[in-house]
């Protein structure tokens, strides 16, 4: 099973990333798996036990508790989005991490990232229909954009990218991005197995369960999601899109960067926002602040208020 996919139209760029992955593996332990199961144990991305497999386990000097435990014995490559989707047709090709260039011939990396998200959701739904709730857990891939262009950073995080690397990529910067990807996958795995009635929030060394019934709105802030309850705000290391898909009917999309609890909707008001100018915002039960509504979502919000 492949655990990482590199998508870049430049063969030299793909070769450099592969070389750095080998170097990261060489800095850690080789051949033997970690003494304790890694965070991906029990998932479809658990490190393979193939002979000669190389496993990286590199301690993070800045955060000693974080270790990079990934199996890089199997790394796939694609020169464009079409080749990547063709590669993914093989059921054994389910990458945990995708290193993705943005500017490529044909379909660009942004569109491919969106397609990968949709594919993951569709495969998970198909598995549940065929097998039931006991179907193997399929997590969306952690996407790391790798590009020479910096102007797309905000768009990348709107697509719930784990990180955004600029070329030429430095070894330590790649390692940091992979640690973030590992942490993101851990959060997703915990959320998929922790039950449907709460979110797990990791905050300054502690883990807290936040009941879904207490959440008033969710707002994407670059690579994190702000979770707002009536008492306080939390930082959630996850994906707004995945939350919307995982709990259908619970949230109302009001903006590309915001979901609100449908039960908390109270009114739609005309406002002047210093950033977006004249527009609309929703008044919510339990908090004073208003959440902006985009023009695209305005009809759906009005309908939700009518339906109650």
Q: What is the pLDDT of residues 148-199, one digit of tens each?
A: 877 665 555 556 678 889 999 999 999 999 988 888 888 777 656 555 578 8
Supply the pLDDT for residue 67.
66
Residue 65 has pLDDT above 50, yes or no: no
Query: What is the reported pLDDT for 224?
Result: 84
pLDDT digits over 15-43, tens only? Answer: 999 999 988 887 753 333 333 333 333 33
Classify residue 236 by its DSSP letter.
E
DSSP annotation of 168: S
Distance, CA of 294 to CA of 280 (rounded, Å): 7
Domain borders along the chain are: 4-193, 198-307
Please give the pLDDT value at position 280.
93
- Check pLDDT > 80 for residue 58: no
Torsion of CA 248, 254, 255, 261, to 10 degrees: -50
pLDDT at res. 148: 83
Tell me the two tokens of residue 16: 């450099």
What is the distance between the alpha carbons of residues 293 and 131, in angstroms, rounded to a whole number?
39
Report residue 222's pLDDT band, with 50, 70 and 90 as the boundaries.
confident
Query: In sequence order, what DSSP letters do the residues of 39-102 get, joined into one string?
Result: TTTTSTTSPP--TT--EEEEE-SSSTT-EEEEE-S-EEEESSHHHHHHHTTSTT---SEEEE-S
The whole-number pLDDT of residue 44 equals: 36
Tell the CATH topology of 198-307. Answer: OB fold (Dihydrolipoamide Acetyltransferase, E2P) (2.40.50)
| pLDDT for 70 beyond 60 | yes
Q: What is the mean pLDDT of residues 62-69?
A: 52
**Looking at the predicted structure, is the pLDDT value of residue 293 above 90?**
yes
How high does pLDDT run on average in the chain?
76
Q: What is the pTM of this model?
A: 0.55
- 285 pLDDT band, cuts 50/70/90, is very high
Per-position b or e across 257-284, b if 16+ CB within 10 A of its CB: bbbbbeebbeebeebeeeeeeebbbbbb
pLDDT value of residue 269: 93
Residue 245: CA count within 13 A, CB half-sphere: 19
Q: What is the mean pLDDT of residues 200-219?
A: 86
Look at residue 248 and tell me whether its pLDDT is greater than 70.
no
Tell me which of 3.30.420.40, 3.40.50.2300, 3.90.1010.10, 1.10.10.10 is the CATH number of domain 4-193.
3.40.50.2300
Task: Over range 223-227, report the average pLDDT.
Answer: 88
Candidate from 150-159, 204-213, 246-255, 290-299 with smallest mean pLDDT:
150-159
Q: What angle do CA 209, 230, 251 make, to 5 degrees?
A: 75
The predicted-structure confidence for 106-129, as pLDDT tens digits, reads as follows 888 888 887 887 776 565 555 444
Q: Which residue has the higher pLDDT, 89 or 7?
A: 7
* Contact between residue 283 and residue 301 where contact means Cβ atoms under 8 Å apart: no
pLDDT of residue 121: 58
The rounded percent of the chain whose pLDDT value lies above 70 is 71
């Amino acid at each position: 099973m492949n655990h990482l996919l590199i998508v870049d139209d430049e063969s030299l760029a793909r070769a450099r990333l592969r070389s750095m992955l080998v170097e990261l593996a060489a800095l850690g332990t080789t051949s033997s798996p970690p003494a304790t199961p890694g965070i991906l144990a029990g998932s479809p991305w658990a490190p393979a036990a193939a002979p000669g497999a190389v496993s990286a386990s590199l301690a993070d000097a800045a955060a000693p508790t974080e270790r990079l435990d990934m199996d890089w014995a199997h790394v796939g490559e694609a020169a464009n989005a079409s080749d990547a989707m063709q590669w993914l047709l093989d059921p054994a090709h389910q990458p945990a991490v995708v290193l993705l260039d943005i500017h490529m011939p044909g379909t660009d990396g942004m569109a491919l990232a969106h397609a990968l998200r949709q594919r993951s959701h569709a495969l998970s739904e198909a598995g549940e229909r065929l097998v039931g709730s006991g179907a193997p857990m399929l997590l969306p891939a952690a996407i790391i954009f790798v590009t020479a262009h910096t102007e797309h950073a905000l768009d990348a995080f709107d697509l719930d990218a784990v990180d955004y690397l600029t070329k030429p990529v430095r070894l330590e910067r790649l390692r940091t991005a992979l640690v973030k990807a590992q942490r993101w996958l851990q959060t997703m795995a915990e959320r998929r197995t922790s039950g449907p009635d709460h979110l797990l929030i990791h905050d300054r060394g502690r883990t807290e369960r936040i009941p879904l019934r207490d959440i008033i709105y969710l707002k994407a802030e670059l690579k994190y999601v702000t979770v707002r309850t009536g008492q306080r705000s939390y930082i959630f290391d996850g994906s707004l899109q995945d939350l919307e898909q995982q709990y259908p009917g619970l949230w109302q999309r009001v903006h590309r960067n915001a979901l609100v609890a449908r039960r908390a909707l109270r009114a739609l008001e005309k406002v002047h926002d210093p950033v977006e100018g004249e527009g609309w915002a929703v008044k919510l039960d339990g908090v004073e602040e208003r959440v902006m509504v985009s023009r695209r979502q305005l009809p759906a919000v009005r309908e939700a208020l009518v339906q109650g």
